[in-house]
Amino acid sequence: MLVAFTILAVALVALLRAFSSGLRGLDAAEVASIAVQHARSKMAEVGSAIPLEPGAEEGAFDDGFRWRVVIEPHELGDGAAAETLPLLPYEVEVTVTGARGGEVTLRSLRLAPRP
């Protein structure tokens, strides 16, 4: 009987460790998913709520996630051809950092009318 209880105790410890590891993974996946959603929403704001011009902006969401948007001109290869384009390309980088660490970065090119 004592051997059976010992085997049962060892099996339960292994099961509880596996269960707790799974919960930690689930929590990390949820945080990453929220960070991606926040980054996509900030990327969608570029050009409307966030002006499409060189510079950086940062702030925080209500749930503790922090965001940073960096906009830089995109270098075109041929200078003469670039001067004739009616639109200017900008590199946009949105980074969202979780309250407990972890970071998601999205990058895109956006076009804006020449000033």
| Model pLDDT for residues 2-59, shown as the tens digit of each residue | 888 888 888 888 888 887 777 777 888 888 899 999 999 999 999 899 999 999 999 9
Task: Give backbone dihedrals phi and psi of 47, rounded to 5 degrees, phi first.
Answer: 100, -15
The answer to whether 92 and 74 have CB atoms below 8 angstroms apart is: no
pTM summary value: 0.76
SS3 assignment, position 1: coil
